[in-house]
Amino acid sequence: MQRIKYFDALRFLAIFGVVALHVFQSFKDVPLGSINVMSFIEIFEFAVPVFLMISGALLLNREMPIDEFLKRRFSRLTYPFILYMIIYAAVLFLLMSFVSGFSGLVHWLSNLPLNYNWYFWTIASLYLAIPILAKFVRHSSFRELEYFITVLIIGCIFYQITLLFGIMHYIDLNLFVSPMAYLVLGYYLANKDFKISTNKIITIALALFILTTLFKMSGHILPVPMQLIENYEATRSMILSSYIDMGLPQIIQAASVFVFFRYVYESKSGFYLALSNFLNGSFTSKFILSVSMASYGMYLFHHTLIEPLREVVKNYAFTGPQTLLLIIVLTVSIFIILWIVVMLISKIPYIGKYSGFH
């Protein structure tokens, strides 16, 4: 199947965002003037939603028998997960046996298969629904998909209000307000033709990204309740939890990133043309493609590098500028190391096909 360039660019950006998110989380709130360093984490919160949107754009558009879909997709999903979980457990065994002794090791490994890399469990759950969801999407008009998205938006606002004011209710809109919504939204945005010029829609997408990011950052900077900004509660219950934010600002932020990269490759004039030429350059396009192909393996392996990092940095105190600079350096360094490691694993006979490089 021919690769779609902007999907590769989105994967590149999303895996970079995932690494940045978890590097940020390795540091406690550190003041940087009148704000704190952790507020910048909101720049990258689009990462996992964008991964889900790419899956929706790619998988809901094709017809495949259920048994064939499950066999092909689950093997590509599961075998790399098992490989990197084994590597993670081995590294953890070596580190924790020195740092925390046997009791610490038991604590870390006791529930490893079920709590390692929550995203795997989220996407695996969604894969079970994709053969059915794909039939609905392929046979729906854009108006019907817009109905789905409209109910999603109404549900997001409703849940946000009930979360903010602590209102008890019995209204279940989780068919719409759930990680599955990102699949439908990704398909819609990948196929919908908007009746405005390319550069104008790119500008609108960029403006929406900046506005929603600043709004999300305001929860760290201003006395704005986070219940007004983020909504993880919509995807949680007594027996299930998810880190997928179903707040409307998050959905708009992720959608704006998706639309921006879909159209920037089509730009024919102005600054966006220069950006398009850069993205299409020989070296840039090859690097983006390689990272995109390695992105799943990079995602699965990144905890193995970042967990030890957290143990190290918690013993040091840094100023705000030092912390921000350190986060930038660590994010770029870990990103490159992850890419190289997955590339190397992909070259190992027998094991390489489970590297998550595809």
Q: How long a stretch of residues is the chain?
A: 358
Flag whether pLDDT at 260 surpasses 60: yes
Residue 186 has a pLDDT of 98
What does the pLDDT look like over 209-238, one tens digit per residue?
999 999 999 988 887 888 888 888 777 765
Extract the tokens encoding 337.
């190391």
Rounded Cα distance, 220 and 198, in Å: 34
What does the pLDDT look like over 75-126, one tens digit per residue?
999 999 999 988 988 887 777 666 555 455 555 555 566 667 889 989 999 9
Residue 112 has a pLDDT of 65
Residue 100 has a pLDDT of 54
Flag whether pLDDT at 300 surpasses 70: yes
For residue 17, the SS3 value is helix
- Calculate the CA dihedral of residues 22, 24, 29, 31 and round it to 10 degrees: 180
Flag whether pLDDT at 144 surpasses 90: yes
- Tell me the β-bridge partners of 31: 36
CA distance to 48, 113, 336, 342, 352, per residue, from 84 (Å)? 19, 11, 17, 10, 12
Residue 30 has a pLDDT of 85
The residues, ordered by sequence, that sit 6+ positions from 348 with a Cβ below 8 Å of its Cβ are 355
User: Which residue range forms the structural domain that includes residue 281?
Assistant: 5-354
The number of folded domains in the chain is 1
Residue 105 has a pLDDT of 53
Residue 109 has a pLDDT of 59
Across the range 277-301, mean pLDDT stands at: 96
Extract the tokens encoding 349.
């006979």
The share of the chain scoring above pLDDT 70, in percent, equals 93
Rounded Cα distance, 345 and 357, in Å: 9
- pTM reported for the whole predicted model: 0.93
**What number of other Cβ atoms are within 10 A of residue 283's Cβ?**
8
Flag whether pLDDT at 192 surpasses 90: yes
- Tell me the β-bridge partners of 35: 32
Give the pLDDT band of residue 268 (cuts 50, 70, 90).
Answer: confident
Flag whether pLDDT at 142 surpasses 80: yes
